[in-house]
Amino acid sequence: MGEVVRGYKAFCSDWTCRGFQYEVGKEYTMPEKPECCERGFHFCLKANDCFGYYNFDTDTKFAEVEAFGEIAYHGDDSKACTNGIRIVREIPWSEVLELVNTGNACAGRWNSGDWNSGNRNSGDWNSGNRNSGDWNSGDWNSGDWNSGNRNSGNRNSGDWNSGDWNSGDWNYADFSAGCFNTEPQKIRMFNKETDWTLNDWFDSTARRILAYAPYGASNTWVSSSDMTDEEKKAHPEYETLGGYLRTEDNRENITDWWNGLQCAERAEVKKLPNFDWDVFCKCTGIDSERGIRD
C-alpha cells in the first residue's frame, strides 16, 4: 500500500459516479494501473475542482476520501485517480459551502471576499457574480453597492454607469434616472419641479438634520452566541453564517424626534423648495396631527 492521499469526491444523488455505485465507509480497489479520464476511481485534491465535473447544488453528494493505491494526476487541475479509494464520510452542504470559498459565510464559488452568494467575487457582501467591489447584488461590477450590472461607479441600480447613484443606464453623470447623460439632472421635491440637483440636496442643512431621524429600519449583525432561542428558530441560516442580520423598525419614534428639534432646525427643514406639510408627514411617518407644524 502506498502513501495515503486525502481528497474530495462528488457523486450523483444516488452515490454513483460514472455508473459505478459507491457507499460511504466502503473501500474499492481495482488491479489495473489508474489513468485519469480513462480508468480508476477519480477524486480531487481541492474541493472546488470537483464542481468542474458535477453541478454545484444539493442534489450532488459530496464526500471526503482517501486514496491508498497508485495515483495518476490530471495536470490541468487537482483531479486525480487511483486504483484504491476509501469513502471516509459524507460532507454536509453547510460544510461544502465553507470548503469551496476562501472568505467567510459564502454561498457561491471561488470567492475571496466575505459573505458572497455569487461566484468569483473578490469583494465582500456580494450576491452577484464576478464583482471586484463590495456590497454588489448585480454582476461584473468594479464599484461598490451596485445592484445593476457592469458598473464602474458606485451605488448604481442601472447598468454600464461610470457615474454614481444612477438608476438609468450608460450615464457619466451622477444621480441620473435616464440614459446617456453627462450633466446632473434637476430633481422634484414635494411632487413639484425645483432648481435643485441631488448634490444641492446632499449639501443642504435640512438633509443633515433629517439624517438623524429614527425613520425606517436599522440593521444590526447578531452573532450566534448572542442570539436568543426564538431568533435561532426563526433564522436557521445562522448555523451556516454564524449569526443573522437583525432588522428593527424605528418609525414610531419619529414624531417625538421631530417635536424635540429646536425651532430653528424645524424652520430649516421647512425652507426646502415646495415644502408641503402633508406630503412631508406622509413620506417621513410623522403624525400630522401630533407633530409640531410651526
Condensed to tens digits (0 to 9), the pLDDT of residues 15-69 reads: 999 889 999 999 999 999 999 888 999 999 988 888 888 887 778 899 999 999 9
Q: Domain count of the chain?
A: 2
**Pairing mode of beta strands 71-73, 20-21:** unpaired
Tell me what pLDDT residue 114 has: 66
Q: Is the pTM of this model over 0.75?
A: no
Task: Out of 49, 83, 98, pick the residue that ends a domain.
Answer: 98
Residue 149 domain flag = no
Residue 260 domain flag = yes
Residue 70 domain flag = yes
Tell me what pLDDT residue 76 has: 74
Tell me what pLDDT residue 115 has: 66
**Among candidate residues 283, 287, 264, the one with its CA nearest the CA of residue 190:** 283
Evaluate whether 132 touches 122 at the Cβ level (below 8 Å).
yes
Most confident of 6-10, 151-155, 210-214: 6-10
Residue 116 domain flag = no
Tell me what pLDDT residue 284 has: 85
Structural domain containing residue 252: 187-284
**For range 1-25, the mean pLDDT:** 89
Residue 163 domain flag = no
Tell me what pLDDT residue 218 has: 56
Phi, psi of 192 (to 5 degrees): -135, 160
The whole-angstrom separation of Cα 174 and Cα 155 is: 10
Tell me what pLDDT residue 27 has: 93
Tell me what pLDDT residue 107 has: 62
Tell me what pLDDT residue 195 has: 94
Residue 131 domain flag = no
Residue 129 domain flag = no
- Dihedral angle at the C-alpha atoms of 257, 258, 261, 264, nearest 10 degrees? 160
Residue 110 domain flag = no
Least confident range from 41-50, 70-79, 141-150, 197-206: namely: 141-150
Tell me what pLDDT residue 111 has: 72
Task: Out of 98, 115, 130, pick the residue that ends a domain.
Answer: 98
Task: For 198-238, write each residue's pLDDT tens digit.
Answer: 889 888 999 888 888 875 555 567 788 888 999 888 888 77
Task: Out of 80, 98, 116, pick the residue that ends a domain.
Answer: 98
